[in-house]
Amino acid sequence: MHKIFAFPEWFEDKWLDDETFAQAYDEIALKNRYAIKTAIARHFILSRNEYSHAKQQRESFTQGFQLEQNTEKVAWVIVYIQGKISPAQLLAAIIPAMSQGIEQVAIVMDDKKNISQELLVSLELAGATWLAVLTKKELDQLLSVSAKEHFGLVVSVGENAKEKHTITRKNNQKILWLTLNMREYIGIYLQGEVDREIFEQAKIAHKGSIFKIAGKTDFLSKTDLIDCELCTEESFLEEISEIYCSDTARHLFEKTGINIYCAGNQWYFYWDKLLSSVFERKQQILYTE
């Protein structure tokens, strides 16, 4: 069992205040808040399907040795945002940790200019408001203190996400590290004006990405197409891992192996690396009987 863990007080003092979140909430359209709430609810339901518990296993082999395996949850998770990150992709990085029963989940950003209203509202609705902007020196200090007696996980996410941080090399046995690179391209397939809501919600949810658009797109204006690339049917599937489309269009892509999110799910996103095992520290002890 973990000893009780809490982040240091100086870090808590740097968290964004409630007023900042409240102001962002009031400025977001009601339909966008509904869409965010729907995605959050689906995240929690699907993430809990992979919930796991701390456990100890011991197995004896007839060849005269035993294997003992100890598994325990990390005590804390820091989602470290480097550069831009879309609200939908950030939610997908945070909720799995919360669903695993990890109470100490905080978000650290390297630049306040990447904080958008949509991002703040997404975090508030998910109940993840421990957000601070830290310098590299402050992050070093936070990781060093957090790793003194407790195992933890850093989820590095964003357009500039790095594989490792200097401080983790000194605390390699205490800090697990996972890197999630923000999707550069998001696919949106349209069947005309009827899919405008899909288009608009996907662009807000994945703000910061470049959108590859295919299908019937004549209804889109030049303003609509900012941060978009119009594609042919042949080039559409290149460099994308997600497609947002209507229910009736999903059959076009079911055999591609690409994730498909139909109408009403534009704020949903899935990181295939964030399985329950990521939030566990595992130890093996092999010995002769």
The 10s digit of each residue's pLDDT in 119-141 is 999 999 999 999 999 998 999 99
Domain coverage including residue 247? 185-261
Task: Look at residue 172 in the predicted model and tell me its pLDDT.
Answer: 54
In a domain? residue 60: no
User: Which pair of structure tokens corresponds to residue 197?
Assistant: 């809501």
| 135 in the same domain as 101 | yes
The segments of the chain whose pLDDT lies below 70 read 1-3, 49-58, 62, 164-173
Per DSSP, which regions of 140-209 are E strands? 152-158, 175-181, 185-191
d(CA 285, CA 209) in angstroms, rounded, equals 45
Domain with residue 104: its CATH number is 3.40.50.1980
| 160 in the same domain as 230 | no
Task: Look at residue 154 in the predicted model and tell me its pLDDT.
Answer: 94
| 138 in the same domain as 253 | no
Please state the pTM of the whole predicted model: 0.86
Domain with residue 202: its CATH number is 3.40.50
| 22 in the same domain as 106 | yes
- Count of domains in the chain? 2
| 26 in the same domain as 156 | yes
| 129 in the same domain as 17 | yes
| 241 in the same domain as 172 | no
Task: Look at residue 1 in the predicted model and tell me its pLDDT.
Answer: 47
In a domain? residue 272: no
